[in-house]
Structure 1
Amino acid sequence: MTAVHVRPMTRAEYDLWQSRLAEDYAAEQVSAGRWDAETALQRAQDENSRALPHGVDTPRTLILRGVLADGTPIGHAWVGLDHPRGAPDTAFLYDFEIEPEHRGTGLGRAFLTAVEGAVRDAGTGSLELNVFGTNAPAIALYGSNGYEVITQQMRKRLVE
């Protein structure tokens, strides 16, 4: 397996990531039927601003880039070291993405392992995340890396 290391995200990388993150998050929420399309982008931007009030310098937060030995960036991750619902000794993975050209190569698994190491090094004993039910590749990655379903939301559309 190719080694992937993590490093803090730069401010320039952060600015670009925030734009993409808000757009992607808004689209996922609309697709899942949780948010209205007209207000989704602003809502995503507002949520991200509240969650990361000091950007890359937000305390108790890891905002990481996955890089190869030669420095090539292959993905990014955002981890809150304090669980949003107060679960003890549990960090929360808010965002994890592999650049499209590196997907399906095993680098996602190596990057996830490196992120887990950073969380462990920060003194936290477990990592939790949410994944949309339609994201089969992510579900497969997390499951094969030892993550277990601890809660599940389900929905049935009653009106067509």
Structure 2
Amino acid sequence: MTAAEDPAWRAAGEQRYLADMVRAGSRTRAGQEKAEEDYRTLLPQGVATPDNTLLVLQADGEPIGNGWFRRGHLPEVTYGYSLVVDPEFRGRGHGRSAVAIGEQVTWEVGDRVVMFDVSGGNEVAMSLYTAVGYRVVEESRSRDLAAGVDG
């Protein structure tokens, strides 16, 4: 990814991240500040932030999605903060190819394990990762109590 591509990617990523948090029940729409702060904190130098790899995924020379990987999440672990295949390109094997690219990035930076962030309710991603052999490492549950607590 180039520095010129970063602002649009970041804005779309923040919106997707917020939507994931809302869907998973961990935030409301007011969580926009959290999404912006997390991106500022994790990528203070944008595409030039050390130990991060930001990718534009392409098929036949056309952008079809993107990925964000951060080395050093844990010892020998690269963390995939996002891996996105745009909806109009899904169902053609691009998701599997994108996962393989993430694995290649992990290997090239010297790590042995790749972990992907998948928010609750993202059944498409969960299904993909399960199909290619990933396992659930951590899971959280939430319940919205805004309507009150019943007995």
TM, length-normalised to structure 1: 0.84
| 2:67 maps to 1:80 | no
1:62-119 CA distance string (max 9 Å, x none): 1011122x32111100000010xxx221110001100111011111101210121121
1:107 and 2:94 are equivalent in the alignment: yes
Within-5 A mapping of 1:1-160: 9-38=1-30, 40-68=31-59, 70-83=60-73, 87-157=74-144, 159=148
CA contact (8 A) 2:22 2:28 kept: yes
Report how far residue 10 of structure 1 moved. Answer: 1.4
Aligned residue for 1:6? none
CA distance in 2, matches of 1:99, 1:82: 27
Cα deviation, residue 157, structure 1: 4.8
The secondary structure found in structure 2 opposite 1:81 is strand
Shift of 1:24: 1.6
Aligned residues: 147
Where structure 1 has 5 or more consecutive residues not aligned to the other structure, the ranges are: 1-8
Unaligned runs of 5+ in 2: none
Work out the CA distance in 1 between the residues paired with 2:144 and 2:125: 24
Distance 2:138 2:26 in 1: 18
Identity across aligned pairs (percent)?
31
- Report the Cα distance in structure 2 between the residues aligned to 1:128 and 1:23, rounded to whole angstroms: 22
Task: State whether residues 21 and 119 of structure 2, in contact with CA within 8 Å, keep that contact through their aligned partners in structure 1.
Answer: no
Residues 127, 62 of structure 1: alpha-carbon distance in 2 compared, 3 angstrom cutoff: same
Instruction: Describe the SS at the equivalent of 1:82.
Output: strand
Taking the aligned partners of 2:33 and 2:139, their CA distance within structure 1 comes to 27
